[in-house]
Amino acid sequence: MQFSKIFFFLIGPFALIILVMISSPWQAGDGLRAYQGKIDLRGIQDPDFGMTKLNGEWEFNWLQEPGEGIENHSKGFIGIPGSWTNESKNQQAYPKFGYATYRLKVFLPEVWKKKILSVTLGAVASAYRVKINGEIIGECGTPGLNADSTIPRIEPRDFLFFADKDEIQIEIFVSNYASTMPGILLPISIGPSDSAGVSRAITLFFDVFSFSGLLIMGIYHIFQYLYLRSSVSPLYFGMYSLVICLRTSLINSKILMLFFPQIPWSWINKINHLTLSVGVPFFLLFFSSVFAPYVSRKFINAGVIFSILFSIVTLFGDMEFNNRNISIYHYFILVTICYLFYTILKIDFDKERNYTYILYGSGILFIAVLVDLFYARVLKTGSIQTSHYALVFFVFLQSLLLASERSRKFAETRELALNLRTSNLELFEMKEQLVQKIEDRTRVLNDNIIQINRELEIAQNVQRKILTPLDRTIPGIRFYYEYKPLEKVGGDFLDISEILPGKVRVVIADAVGHGVQASLMTMALKTEYEELKNLGNPAQILKELNFRFLKKFDSLESIFPCMIGDIDTQKEEFTYASAGHPDQILQLPGEFPSLIHKTGPILGLFESLEIVSKTIAFPTGSRLLLFSDGLIENRMKDSLNTKQYNMELITKTLHEGRESGLNDLIQEIIKIEELTRGENPRYDDITVIAVESYSSKKV
């Protein structure tokens, strides 16, 4: 497997790149080369021969001004294409910044005479002017003798002239005060104007095709991420495609400059550098999102941070500064490619079989970038932008991946559909059987529910019967209560009875829980209380209730708060004992209501309880408000504050309603509970008792 990795991802892409380079117009030769400033094309006999490259030795005059005589300067020769900073056995190196004149004498073939010919120039850094036989036929940018008078601009141009002689002299004045790689960097071609137009159209077609393909794929992947959000890799790939799409418009045909010629070259140069420093981090993020288990997050993060910082510096740097420092980023790209190659060798191919297209495309793209860097940093000349075409191929492979994924998912969907159809048939049969069973069981359940409801109504009536009737008359005492169980039956119990002349006992208890079980506890409580009703001390009654419940109903594990109070209308006293019951409210005539606190723990927990009775004044006109905890508690988030708030509202309502009837007073208090609970459902029984003493003596 290791050998197949090396062969598939290194030797395979490398061989493909070599094949592309050999078959490209850059390397295709026609055997014609310039020698010592001259080139003989008279051997061309075919009028449809096409464009001919003028590669070879051109006459080169360093720091020669336009129109200045050749005799004033030493004549040398330089290889075209190539930078004048290159040094070889037959060529000396010149400074980056300056100006020079290139000359070449061309002997034209007979078939080109009396025709309109075209001289095609590609990348010439960074401004130039072209003369044919001493006449200016065009320029790119504004070449000058210093940085102030030079306006750089690098773009491909076709210059037309009429061939009326057997030979011509091409003179190109080049000045550079911006680029770190000056001179004529791409081949110069000559040929019939129609051939030049065809060549230019072909190049433009491929560039527009690449631009359109990258733009469409970029937008498609971004929208795929926006709609699916299942993975960020389409977003990174889409952004990378859009950045390289912009870069595509700046190379070869330079589409952006073709449609927007008014854009300054300084901006074009800056955008060109930024597309490189912005595109690399997007590719790193894409690669790491697809092959996350194999890449180092530290390296990816460091690469992204370095690229961001470099992009910021490039954004605010001038053209000379950016051209000089772009080599730093080239070395960073070289390190990144080496790391990604290393990562590819670690990838488990069997596990990542679906991403073979991405791996193969990455290998081709990496080697293509290395080829471009070799041209730029070693040969110091222009290239055919193999990375540009490799990227288009990479996007094509990505589309194959998408097609493969869609095909696989379609096959899975079709298989699932067939399985679903079979399952649906089986489910339909099961459904028919289940429907019949459900109908039978529903019929039984409905009968049971009707029976249960009937029994609950009976239990409800029974429970209502054990409560003190509202029409009971007790001398010296008026009372009213509201009993609202959560369900049909509840767990609250109350009793108001005259146990001795002038002595009225009030009982309120709350069995923990609600529903049938709690209601059964109230039945038991009623039974036990009736036996203990005549005991004189409320605390003694509570202790005895606790003892009996623990002995008789220990298995139920039921607890309940309870309060018993005796109102003595003759002594005008109120004696009470409260076992774990919430604070109750007492209002004496002419005073603000006060709280009655519990005097012992809740019943049903311990056999031995410390419960005491307390006696307080209860003069004529006093009011007593007793209630279960369902009135002041709910399940809101801030339940403690709600409980305190409810107590304050109830106390205030009791004070303000001291002249109101007991019935109206209780209704107002119940509204407080409904108001603070809001839309939340009630979760406990509510019992509210209002007792008032009055003078029963006849005047």
Q: If you average pLDDT over residues 305-330, what whole number do you get?
A: 90
Give bridge partners of residue 689 from the DSSP assignment.
Answer: 481, 626
Q: Which string of DSSP letters, residue by residue, matches 559-616?
A: -B-EEEEEEETTTTEEEEEEESPPPEEEE-TTS--EEE---BPPBTS-SS-----EEE
Q: Is residue 517 part of a domain?
A: yes
pLDDT of residue 1: 45
Pick the range with the lowest mean pLDDT from 115-119, 389-393, 403-407, 592-596: 403-407
DSSP annotation of 71 reads G
Is residue 131 located within the same domain as residue 238? no
Dihedral of the alpha carbons of 654, 660, 666, 668, in degrees to the nearest 10? -80
Question: Is residue 245 assigned to a domain?
Answer: yes
Same domain, 121 and 231: no
Neighbour order of strands in the sheet with 124-125:
82-83, 183-184, 124-125
Report the CATH number that the domain containing residue 181 is assigned in CATH.
2.60.120.260
Contact (Cβ atoms closer than 8 angstroms) between residue 491 and residue 519: yes
Asked whether residue 518 carries a pLDDT value surpassing 90, the answer given is no
Q: What is the pLDDT of residue 433?
A: 85
Report if residue 686 sits inside a domain: yes
Q: Which of 568, 519, 566, 520 is nearest to 541 (CA)?
A: 566
pTM: 0.55
In tens, the pLDDT along 40-62 reads 999 888 888 889 999 999 999 99
179 and 219 housed in the same domain: no
Q: What pLDDT is recorded for position 105?
A: 95
Average pLDDT over residues 360-378: 73
Domain extent for 236: 2-12+203-406
Across the chain, mean pLDDT equals: 83
Regarding whether 378 and 517 lie in a shared domain, the answer is no
Phi and psi angles of residue 619, each rounded to the nearest 5 degrees, phi first? -70, 170
Asked if residue 385 lies in contact with residue 24, where contact means CB atoms within 8 angstroms, the answer is no
Q: How many structural domains is the chain composed of?
A: 3
pLDDT bin (cut points 50, 70, 90) of residue 640 is low
Higher pLDDT, 399 or 34: 34
Of 15-24, 125-134, 555-564, 592-601, minimum mean pLDDT range: 15-24
594 and 622 part of one domain? yes
Q: Which pLDDT score, from 0 to 100, does residue 21 have?
A: 54
Q: Is the pLDDT confidence value at 332 over 70? A: yes
Report how far residue 311's alpha carbon sits from residue 296's, in angstroms, rounded to the nearest whole number.
23
Residues 224 and 91 reside in one and the same domain:
no
Checking if the pLDDT of 391 tops 50, the result is yes
**What was the pLDDT predicted at 28?**
44
- Of 7, 17, 15, which Cα lies nearest the Cα of 349? 7
- What is the rounded distance in angstroms from the CA atom of residue 699 to the CA atom of residue 686? 40
Domain's final residue, options 200, 229, 246: 200
Specify the range with the lowest mean pLDDT, choosing from 9-23, 260-274, 431-445, 467-481. Answer: 9-23
- The CATH number of whichever domain residue 210 belongs to comes to 1.20.1070
The two structure tokens encoding residue 328: 């730093």
pLDDT at 555: 67
CA 139 – CA 129 distance, rounded (Å): 4
pLDDT digits (tens, 9 = 90+) for 102-115: 999 999 999 999 99
Q: And the tokens for 520?
A: 């059964």
> Which of 384, 406, 428 represents a domain boundary (last residue)?
406
Query: What DSSP string runs through 423-437?
Result: HHHHHHHHHHHHHHH
- With tokens 């795929």, the residue in question is 224
Terminal C-alpha separation, the chain: 117
Average pLDDT over residues 389-396: 76
Per-residue pLDDT tens for 594-611?
A: 999 999 999 888 888 899
pLDDT tens-digit map of 138-158 = 999 999 999 899 999 888 899
Supply the pLDDT for residue 130. Answer: 95
In the chain, what percentage of residues exceed pLDDT 70? 87
pLDDT in tens, 660-696: 889 999 898 888 888 888 788 887 888 999 999 988 6
pLDDT number for residue 638: 52
Helix (H) or strand (E) holding 538: helix 538-552
Say yes or no: 640 and 657 in one domain.
yes
Indicate whether 188 belongs to any domain. Answer: yes
pLDDT at 513 over 80: no
| Angle, CA of 235, 236 and 242, to the nearest 5° | 90
**What is the band of 127 on the pLDDT scale with cuts at 50, 70, 90?**
very high
8-12, 479-483, 551-555, 588-592, range with the lowest pLDDT: 8-12
Determine the pLDDT at residue 31.
Answer: 64
Tell me if 452 is assigned to some domain: no
Question: Do 220 and 196 share a structural domain?
Answer: no
**Across 339-360, average pLDDT:** 72
Q: Rounded to 5, what percent of the chain is helix, strand, coil? A: 50, 20, 30
**Residue 26: predicted pLDDT:** 46
- The residue-averaged pLDDT of 234-245 equals 89
Question: How far is Cα 325 from Cα 310, in angstroms, rounded to an integer?
Answer: 9
State the pLDDT confidence band at 556, using cuts at 50, 70 and 90: low
- Are 620 and 525 found together in one domain? yes
* pLDDT at 643 exceeding the cut of 90: no
Residues 487 and 513 in one domain: yes
Which band of pLDDT confidence, cut at 50, 70 and 90, is reported for residue 447? confident
Average pLDDT over residues 283-309: 90
Radius of gyration over alpha carbons of the chain, in Å?
A: 50
Residue entry with tokens 């080697």? 367
Pick the more confident residue, 7 or 658.
Answer: 658
pLDDT at residue 29, as a whole number: 47
pLDDT (mean) for 520-548: 85
Residue 616 has pLDDT above 50, yes or no: yes
Within-domain flag for 515: yes
pLDDT band at 333 (very low <50, low <70, confident <90, very high): confident
Please say which residue of 136, 169, 200 terminates a domain: 200
pLDDT the model gives residue 16: 54
625 within some domain: yes
Are residues 162 and 218 part of one domain? no
More confident residue, 350 or 676: 676
> Among 259-273, 412-426, 632-646, which is the least confidently predicted range?
632-646
Within 8 A by CB and 6+ apart from 400, the residues are 357
Same domain, 161 and 209: no
| Domain membership flag for residue 431 | no
